[in-house]
Amino acid sequence: MTSTPDAASTDAASAARRLLIVGPPGAGKGTQAVRIAEELSIPAISTGDIFRANVSGRTELGVLAKSYMDKGEYVPDSVTNDMVRSRLAQEDARDGFLLDGYPRTLDQVEALDAVLEELGTSLDLVLLLVVEPEEVIGRLVARGAELGRSDDTEETIRHRLDVYAEQTAPLIDVYQRRGLVRRVDGMAAIDEVTASLREALAAR
């Protein structure tokens, strides 16, 4: 196939650029989100990172978020939804975004649908990283020691996995019914996972 500038721009226009990456804590979402977003020239938007930046900056939002994060609980939907709504309204997210760690509840799914509808757009794909829970615990304990994350202690990790199974895993069915989910083995080496994500995006 010859690649003319026109064909290239058509490809770029039709490529999946409004994306979610989902999976349990420790699945490698953050690492992969940054790589994929960079390749697609879209922002990787991690609600966890935004909360952590607010915790470090000791903002009002940070103080509130920390009280939930340290227990492995979700920050209330109203707070999280408002934060994402204003982030998605920023200029750099106009032509695409990769949301990492949002939505995490059914209420957040509805809020995201509403925001995207207001913006006149919709999701293209949901990338699901599939991992073994026990493997994830080992990874997170190691990360907690390395980065000093206060929510990466074994007890909090187990609670976060329970909260994920209870509140977030059901979202996969919702997106599955919409035909948006692409499953990728998250247990492989980092570069292999990135390659599989790339393939999933290309095969849309």
Q: Which two tokens stand for residue 8?
A: 């290239």
Closest of 46, 57, 38, 36 to residue 191, by C-alpha = 36
Q: Which amino acid is at 163?
A: V
- Rounded Cα distance, 19 and 79, in Å: 22
Of 7 and 190, the one with the shorter C-beta distance to ligand AMP is 190
Q: Minimal CB distance to ligand AMP: which residue?
A: 48
Of 14 and 31, the one with the shorter C-beta distance to ligand AMP is 31
**Maximum C-alpha span of the chain:** 56
| Cα-to-chain-centroid distance, residue 99 | 4
23, 24, 28, 101: which one contacts ligand AMP (CB under 6 A)?
A: 101
Q: Which amino acid is at 204?
A: R
Site for ligand AMP in 166-195 (CB under 6 A): none
Minimum distance from residue 104 beta carbon to ligand AMP (Å): 4
Site for ligand AMP in 54-93 (CB under 6 A): 68-69, 72-75, 80
Of 70 and 199, the one with the shorter C-beta distance to ligand AMP is 70
Number of residues in contact with ligand AMP under rule CB under 6 A: 17
Residue numbers annotated as active site: 29, 104, 143, 149, 160
Alpha-helical regions (H) of the chain: 5-14, 29-40, 47-56, 60-69, 77-88, 106-118, 133-147, 154-163, 169-177, 190-202
160 sits near ligand AMP (criterion: CB under 6 A): yes
Interface residues toward ligand AMP, by CB under 6 A: 25, 47-48, 51, 68-69, 72-75, 80, 101-102, 104, 108, 151, 160
